[in-house]
Chain A
Amino acid sequence: MSRIAILKTYKIYIGGKFPRTESGRFYQPKFDNKALANMCLSSRKDFRNAVVAARKAQGGWAHKSAYNRSQILYRIAEVLEGRKAQFVAELALQGSTEALAKEEVNLSIDRLIYYAGWCDKYIQMYSTVNPVSGSYFNFSVPEPTGIVAAFAPEKSGLLGLVTQICSIIAGGNTCVILASESKPLCAITFAEVLATSDVPGGVINILTGNRAELLTHFGSHMDVNAVLYCGADKNDIKTLQELAVESMKRTRIREDGDYFDAKHENPYYIFDFQETKTTWHPIEQIAGAGSGY
C-alpha cells in the first residue's frame, strides 16, 4: 500500500507569524479544474492587522544599516536556493512546465541577489550635494516612503511577487502584499523562506485572497504610505488613485507580465518608494576661504 501523503495547510504571513485568516474563510484556486489547496480568503481585518505589523517593523527596518539589509536580502536568496525543488513542484501544480518553472525559480533567486546588491548603493546614486548660492552645506538623500500596500502580479506567482517585494524592502520600506489569486501557492511557501531568513517579522506581510474585495481597503487605509498595483484594469486603477487621495498615498502602477524580462531589474523600482530629504546647514565664513589652496 502506498503512503498517504501529508497535505499542506497554506496560511497567511503577518508580523513574522503564520495565522489563519481571522475570517475563517477559504477559497480554492484551481488548475485543470482541480483544486490546488484551501487558501485563506483574507479579510479587511487581516489587512489591517498586517498594516499594524508593518508599521511596527518600519522604523527598525529603515534604520538598519544598508549593509545589513543587503545581507538579509542575500540570505533570502540563499534559503530559497536550498528549497528550489519545492517551488518548482508548486509552479508545476499551478500549470507551469518544468523547464519554465525551473527558470522562474532561478530568476527569482537571481533577482533577490540583484536587489540585495542595490541596498547599499542606490542611496549613493540618488543622493546629491547641492551647490547652493550661499554659505550652506546642502545635501539630498532618499528615505523610505514607509508602508507599501501591494497587489502582486496575477500572472507571475513567484517571480512577479519577489520582484515587487525586493523593490519595496531594499529601500527600507515595509510591505503588505496580496499574492496572485490564481497562483498563490509559492507566495506562502516563500513566506516560509522569509521566516527563516533573518527578515524581521512585519517587514514583509503576505496575504492571499481576492483582489476585488481588498482593493478599496488597500487604497483607503490611512496608515499606508504608498500603493503598488500590478495590472491594467482601468477601473481598479481609478478607484485606487481616488482613494489614495485622502492621505496622499503615492500610487505606482506596474505591469502584470511574466517578469522574466531584465527590465524589471533596475534601481528606479526602488526609487518608486523613496522620498527625497534635503538638509541645509550653514558653513561658517565661506567668504574668507582660499587659504587652503
Chain B
Amino acid sequence: MKTKVDIDYSSDWPLAPAPESMSHINLKEKYDLFINGKFVKPKSGKYFDTFNPANEKLLAKVALGDADDVDIAVKAARKAYTNVWSKLSGKERGKYIFRLARIIQERAREFSVIESLDGGKAIRESRDIDIPLVSAHFFYNAGWADKLDYAFPNRKPKSLGVVGQIIPWNFPLLMASWKIAPALAAGNTVVIKAANTTPLTLYKLAEAVKDAGIPDGVVNVVSGRGSVVGMAIVNHPDVNKIAFTGSTGVGKIIMNAIAGTGKKATMELGGKAANIIFEDAALDQAVEGVINGIFFNQGHVCCAGSRLYVQESVYDVVLRKLKGRMQSLIIGDPLDKNTDIGAINSKDQLNTINEYIKIGLKEGAEIYQPECTLPKKGYWCKPTLFTHVAQSNRIVQEEIFGPVLAIQTFRTIDEVIEKANNTPYGLSAGVWTDKGSKIFNMTSQLRAGVIWANTFNKFDPASPFGGYKESGFGREGGIHGLEPYLKFD
C-alpha cells in the first residue's frame, strides 16, 4: 500500500507579524468630488463613511453626490473635450498620460496601502499586482494616443466625446485605470463613478491627475449611490458612451436604460469560470493555480475560477493536495506582508457569501474549511470548498464573488467541455494539462473571452480582457481595448 506524504504545515515557530507601515500615507478626513480640476463639495452637502473592512474603523468621509453633481461633471467634461482635449495632438495627449503613469509609480506604495485599507485585500496583492498594473495600463495606453490610425487600417478613428464610466469595488484603482487610460488615449474626456465601499484610491488618482497637469475637466470623479449617481451618468443625454464593470444584473439595467439612445457601451460583467484539471497535468502547479484562481482577492474577482472540474482518476489526490494547501493559507491583517487572504470587502458581501454557503449545505454539498482563527473585528470568511455538488446546484450556477469553490469530476473531454460551457456566463476559463494539443482543443472549444492554460488570473494592459455571452461585450486592454472608445467613418 502506498503511503501518503503530506506537508506538515504546523510549526512551533509562527511567522512574526510583518505589517506594512502606514506612516507614508496621506489620507484626508473628508473627500470631495473631483470636478473640473477641483475638489468640490457635493450639492447635497452630504457625505458617506468608508470603512476598513478588516477592523470596521472609519477611514474617511466621502462626498455623496447626486444627479446635480453628475450634470455639473458632464458639463465640465464636455467643455474640456470641446475646448481643450479634442484640440490637443495625440502626441501631447499621450505625454499627459505618460506623466500620470509615472506619478502613480512614484506613489505606488501609498496607493497600495490605501487600496488594502479601504478594500481589505492583502498588501502582497495590492503592492505586487493592483498598483503596478494600474501604472502599466496608463503607460501602455499613453503610447497609443498618437498611433490610433495604425490600429484600425482604413478607418479614420475619431474620439467619441464624453465617456461615463462606472467601476466595481473589487479592484477599484485597477478598474479605474482600465477605464480611464484607453478613454483618454482615444481622445475622450471622462466622468467616472467611484465604487461605494472602496472610493478612496480613485480620489487619490484624482490628486495624481491634478499633479500631472492634465487639463481641468478631462477627468472628473463622482461618488454616491449607484441608483442615483450611476444612473444619472447612464441617463445623461450628453454622455456618448458608457463603460461598466460590475454584476450582470446591473449591466442589464444599464443596457435597458440606454436602449435606443445610440450611446455606445462596453459591459464587463459577471462570470463563473471553469478551472479544469486533466489527469496528465502537473498536479502541484494545478493546485497552486486553483488556489490562486479562487482565493485571489478573497474571490472578489469576476473571472475567479469558482467551478473546479477534476478528471476522475486524479480527483482524490487533487482534493487532498488542495485541502493541504488551503490549510497553509494565512488569513488575517491585509496590511501584513505574509497575509494570503485578507478581509471580505463589506458586511453586505459577507452576508451574501454566507448565504451562498448555507445554500450549498442545504443543497446537500459537503463543505471543507481549513482550521484557522479569524480576527474578531472586521468581515472574514474562511476559504471554502464544496464537494459532491451537481451542475444544477446554485453554488455551481451563480456568481458568489467570494472564496467559495465548487468541485465536480469528469471523465471525457467532451463531457467537461459541455459542463464548462453550460452557463450563461463566458468570461474566463482555466485548463491544466501537459499536452499541448489538448490545450488548443480546449481553448478553441471553451466559450469564454480569456483562457488561462496552465496558469490563472493573469492580467496585462496588452492583453484584451472581456466576456462572451452574458459576461458582457467589448474588450479592455490591448489594441482591442481602444475600439470601444472610438468611432469610425
- Chain A residues with CB under 8 Å of chain B are 63, 125, 128, 130-134, 136, 138, 140, 143, 225, 234-235, 237-239, 241-242, 244-248, 250, 266, 268, 275-282
18 contacts across the A-B interface (CB closer than 8 A): A128-B478, A128-B480, A132-B463, A136-B455, A138-B462, A140-B463, A140-B478, A245-B256, A248-B252, A248-B471, A268-B155, A276-B466, A277-B451, A278-B451, A279-B451, A280-B451, A281-B439, A281-B453
**B interface bracket (residues with beta carbon within 8 Å of A):** 35 or more
A248-B267 in contact (CB<8A): yes
Interface of chain B residues 467 through 484 with chain A (CB within 8 A): 468-473, 475, 478-480
* Cβ-closest chain A residue relative to B489: A263
Q: How far is the CB of A56 from chain B (nearest CB, A)?
A: 15
Out of A132, A140, A234, A241, name the residue touching B480 (CB < 8 Å): A140
A242-B439 in contact (CB<8A): no
Q: How far is the CB of B213 from chain A (nearest CB, A)?
A: 27
Out of B255, B448, B453, B462, name the residue touching A241 (CB < 8 Å): B255
Interface of chain B residues 438 through 464 with chain A (CB within 8 A): 439, 443-444, 448-455, 458, 460, 462-464
Q: How far is the CB of B470 from chain A (nearest CB, A)?
A: 5
How many residue pairs link A and B with beta carbons under 8 A? The number is: 109
Chain A residues, CB < 8 A from B465:
278
Chain A residues, CB < 8 A from B472:
248
Chain A residues, CB < 8 A from B443:
277, 279
Flag B49-84 by CB within 8 Å of A: 1 or 0 each.
Answer: 000000000000000000000000000000000000
* Cβ-closest chain B residue relative to A138: B463
Interface of chain B residues 212 through 257 with chain A (CB within 8 A): 248, 251-252, 255-256
Out of B248, B251, B258, B464, name the residue touching A276 (CB < 8 Å): B464
Chain B residues, CB < 8 A from A245:
252, 255-256, 259
How far is B468's CA from A140's CA once the two chains are assembled, in angstroms? 14
Out of B248, B449, B453, B462, name the residue touching A275 (CB < 8 Å): B449
A242-B256 in contact (CB<8A): yes
Chain B residues, CB < 8 A from A132:
458, 460, 462-463
Q: How far is the CB of B234 from chain A (nearest CB, A)?
A: 13
* Cβ-closest chain A residue relative to B285: A282
* Cβ-closest chain A residue relative to B465: A278
Chain B residues, CB < 8 A from A248:
248, 251-252, 255, 267, 269, 469-473
* Cβ-closest chain B residue relative to A266: B154
Given contacts A247-B470, A268-B155, A276-B466, contact A241 B460 (CB under 8 A): no
Chain B residues, CB < 8 A from A279:
443, 450-453
Given contacts A248-B469, A248-B473, A281-B439, contact A276 B462 (CB under 8 A): no
* Cβ-closest chain A residue relative to B488: A268
Chain B residues, CB < 8 A from A250:
473
How far is B455's CA from A266's CA once the two chains are assembled, in angstroms? 37
B453-A130 in contact (CB<8A): no
B462-A242 in contact (CB<8A): no
Known: A280-B452, A281-B453. 18 other contacts (CB 8 A): A128-B464, A132-B462, A138-B460, A138-B463, A140-B478, A237-B260, A242-B260, A245-B256, A247-B424, A248-B472, A277-B449, A277-B468, A278-B463, A278-B464, A279-B443, A280-B453, A280-B458, A282-B455
Given contacts A245-B259, A266-B154, contact A281 B455 (CB under 8 A): yes
Chain A residues, CB < 8 A from B251:
248
Given contacts A130-B460, A130-B464, A136-B458, contact A241 B449 (CB under 8 A): no
How far is B136's CA from A288's CA once the two chains are assembled, in angstroms? 24
